Amino acid sequence: MTRSAGPLKLKAQLFCGEEIAMGPGKAALLEAIIQHGSISAAGRALGMSYRRTWMLVDVMNRSWVEPLVETEVGGRRGGGARVTETGHAVLAAYQALMDEIGAAAEPRISALAELMRESPRPAHKG
Amino acid sequence: MTRSAGPLKLKAQLFCGEEIAMGPGKAALLEAIIQHGSISAAGRALGMSYRRTWMLVDVMNRSWVEPLVETEVGGRRGGGARVTETGHAVLAAYQALMDEIGAAAEPRISALAELMRESPRPAHKG
């Protein structure tokens, strides 16, 4: 009954002015900060540079009514960080958004699956 | 009542194996081919290279049960092209999918808007 059209990849980016206040990369970073308790450890776990990791945190912290990530006072590189109450709320809402649009997509994807091949025809004739 | 959280950007990509069978760029290309009646004119209108335009058409034509775009027999560069019945069906379904996930996102976006700033705080202290 539920035939797959191959994976559907959905991406949602929330803009605050010109900045991406929340998106797949920032949500993954918040999850990793919760897991690792440290911004730099979270970045390493995601394979991101130290510079990029802090840039994403900085953009998040400037885009919402309160910072999403707090570092410990006197923290050094590798020191502790925590996701704030607002950060948890934004992350939960973003995850719910992704679940909701995924569910909303399902009927249409099933219909499209009827028209899609299992795999692409080869690019060159054999 | 309906406060904007700034623009929400949603992107849906449908995969056939490793290939993107339909996504924002391919949908825009189908619309432009319908409008211009020519693959190369459509690519020019979208600012895409000739090579990239034809690559997108080729992937689409290999990913669905029937080609989405047909060129005229004996067509030369700049010659005519038409979107097939299957192409129209896939495009309409993709556009409906985008409308549906956009509508599904609205309540959650309104909730997130309550937590988002109108514009980001400046990156550097004044």
pLDDT digits (tens, 9 = 90+) for A79-109: 699 999 999 999 999 999 999 999 999 999 9
The mean per-residue pLDDT over the stretch B20-41 comes to 96
- What gap in Å lies between CA A39 and CA B76, rounded to an integer? 56
- Predicted confidence band of residue A126 (pLDDT cuts 50, 70, 90): very low
Return the residue matching tokens 């909730």: B111
CB contact under 8 A, B97 and A108: yes
DSSP secondary structure code for residue A64 in this structure:
B
What average pLDDT does the structure give for chain A? 90
Counting residues of chain A whose pLDDT is more than 70, the rounded percentage is 87
Query: Is the pLDDT at B18 greater than 70, yes or no?
Result: yes
| Closest CB to B10 among A65, A101, A103 | A101
Size of interface A-B (CB pairs under 8 A): 157
Q: What single letter denotes the amino acid at residue A51?
A: R
Question: Residue A69's closest CA among A33, A35, A36?
Answer: A33
Q: Which two tokens stand for residue B7?
A: 């623009």
CB contact under 8 A, A17 and B6: yes
CB contact under 8 A, A109 and B14: yes
- Predicted confidence band of residue A7 (pLDDT cuts 50, 70, 90): confident
Q: How would you classify the pairing of strands B19-22 and B8-16?
A: antiparallel
- Predicted confidence band of residue A2 (pLDDT cuts 50, 70, 90): very low
Output the pLDDT for position A76. 54
pLDDT digits (tens, 9 = 90+) for B42-101: 999 999 999 999 999 999 999 999 999 999 866 555 469 999 999 999 999 999 999 999
Are the C-beta atoms of A8 and B12 separated by less than 8 Å? Answer: yes
pTM of the model: 0.85
Return the residue matching tokens 């335009």: B53
CB contact under 8 A, A105 and B101: yes
Q: Which residues of chain A are within 8 Å of residue B109 when distances are taken between CB atoms?
A: 14, 97
Q: What ipTM describes this predicted complex? A: 0.81
Output the pLDDT for position B31. 98
Output the pLDDT for position A123. 86
